[in-house]
Amino acid sequence: MSKMFDDWRRNSPYYDETHEALSDSLRRFIAREAIPHVETWEQQRMVPREFHRKAADAGILGLGFAEEYGGTLEGVNTFHQLVKIEELAGAGAGGVMSGLLTHAVALPPLIAMGSENVRQRIVPAILRGEKIMAIAVTEPSGGSDVAAIQTRAVRQGDEYIVSGSKTFISNGMRADVFLVAVRTGETDKNGISILLIEAPTPGFERTQLDKMGWHCSDTSTLYFDNVRVPVENLIGPEHDGLRHVLNNFNSERLGAAQQAMAYSRLCLEEAGLWAGERETFGKKLGQHPIIRSKLADMVRHINTTQAWIDLCAWQFDRGAVSAADIALLKVQATRTFEWVAREASQVLGGASYITGSRIERLYREVRVLAIGGGSEEILLDLAGRQMGFGAGFGIEDTRVRASL
């Protein structure tokens, strides 16, 4: 997507020629299949299904999934996923990535815990772009409080009867398959299960939500009124779904951090191009020291955060990353994106306020990354608890004790 990331990748120990080749392939795909259509998709409020099929043919949907389901897993690591995110961000609209890649979050629990029959019936169709998938956890009453889920599933013979609602569901209007967190036990963290619910089915309805940003990603509220789901569609053990939902957040948050940096680089490039063309007070805007300083400071923030992303990705591939690190990383990345978008807007001035410019669109999409997958407040508290703050000691006390 960007020369800045190209240079970063080529001078990094984490990336090799396979990442370079993937970048080139994805960049051509986005230039051909997405960029010319983004404004139309934004107005239509969704990405067309045909785009999923084209992305499947290009190997994008299957990247990181096992070959037995039609994916490409051999030789693929987390850095290939970072490159994929970087290049898809080149469309200049976060809704493109949200609309296309929700299965990257929804499929792993199904593959890890679903029956072989369900896996064979669902996964290849998703990776071929024939079906669209969504994951439904958030509820109108709970938000980030996953343990307080109220949508209930009651077993009756060979079926579960599901009643309740979910909201803020990406791909909610187009999805054919939903991975849904439901309550099957008592009102605590041990009573949550995961069901695969297919649409259309009697008693299941959905309404579209209009949003500040991500316009070409359809988002909806889901309603379940005594929806019958085969017991075979239980994903994993009954009452044991919460830990799998929470474990899935780490990869989602790492991806969100990379998205934030990719969009930050887009903002920087827009600001840099404008500064090189715009003339003020007899010289190019970029020749004013204050503007040069702004651009340099944007690079400082971006590169610092990207280094942390790469370190966490390296740890992720070795199973050594902590939930606290990922939580703090997402906060760092989204705050960097928010700051860079603001500074880029300052450089462009009034031009950044006109609908249709990339800066204007990306500025509106800051909040969804900062809130989705865990808000700053939730993640900072999570990290604090993971590191032992509030338990009578902190980092400094631990160091002192270790030295005694």
Give the residue among 368, 352, 169, 170 at the shortest CA–CA distance from 267: 352
Phi and psi dihedrals of 218, rounded to 5? -70, 135
15-38, pLDDT tens digit by residue? 999 999 999 999 999 999 999 999
Other beta carbons within 10 angstroms of residue 68's beta carbon come to 11
Res 399 pLDDT > 70 = no
Which H or E run contains 124? helix 116-127
Residue 373, pLDDT score: 87
Res 404 pLDDT > 70 = no
Average pLDDT, the chain: 91
Stretch among 106-115, 180-189, 212-221 having the lowest mean pLDDT? 180-189
Residue 144, pLDDT score: 66
The rounded percent of the chain whose pLDDT value lies above 90 is: 78
Phi and psi dihedrals of 97, rounded to 5? -70, -40
Residue 393, pLDDT score: 53
228-239, pLDDT tens digit by residue? 999 999 999 988
What's the token pair of residue 306?
């990207």
| CA atoms within 13 Å, Cβ hemisphere of 171 | 26
For the chain, the maximum distance between any two Cα atoms, rounded to a whole number of angstroms, is 80
The CATH architecture to which 3-128 belongs is Orthogonal Bundle (1.10)
106-140, pLDDT tens digit by residue? 999 999 999 999 999 999 999 999 999 999 999 99
71 in Cβ contact with 65 (< 8 Å): yes
156-175, pLDDT tens digit by residue? 999 999 999 999 999 999 99
Phi and psi dihedrals of 169, rounded to 5? -95, 110
287-306, pLDDT tens digit by residue? 899 999 999 999 999 999 99
The CATH architecture to which 243-387 belongs is Up-down Bundle (1.20)
Give the residue among 91, 231, 86 at the shortest CA–CA distance from 156: 231
Res 339 pLDDT > 80 = yes
Q: Taking the alpha carbons of 194, 195, 198, 201 in that order, is the dihedral positive or negative? A: negative
* Mean pLDDT in residue range 299-317: 96
Ordered by start, the domain boundaries in the chain are 3-128, 133-239, 243-387
Query: How sure is the predictor about 187, in pLDDT bands with cuts at 50, 70 and 90?
Result: confident
Which amino acid does the sequence have at 62?
G
Residue 102, pLDDT score: 92
Residue predicted with more confidence, 136 or 398: 136
CB-based burial, 240-272: b 16+ in 10 Å, e otherwise: bbbebbeebbbbbbbbbbbbbbbbbbbbbbbbb
Residue predicted with more confidence, 404 or 190: 190
Query: How sure is the predictor about 329, in pLDDT bands with cuts at 50, 70 and 90?
Result: very high
Residue 402, pLDDT score: 36
Residue predicted with more confidence, 189 or 71: 71
Residue 397, pLDDT score: 44
Res 395 pLDDT > 70 = no
The CATH architecture to which 133-239 belongs is Beta Barrel (2.40)
Phi and psi dihedrals of 89, rounded to 5? -65, -20
d(CA 324, CA 383): 4
d(CA 119, CA 93): 31
d(CA 140, CA 148): 11
88 in Cβ contact with 101 (< 8 Å): yes
SS (H, E, C) 219-273: EEEEEEEEEEEEHHHECCCCCECHHHHHHHHHHHHHHHHHHHHHHHHHHHHHHHH
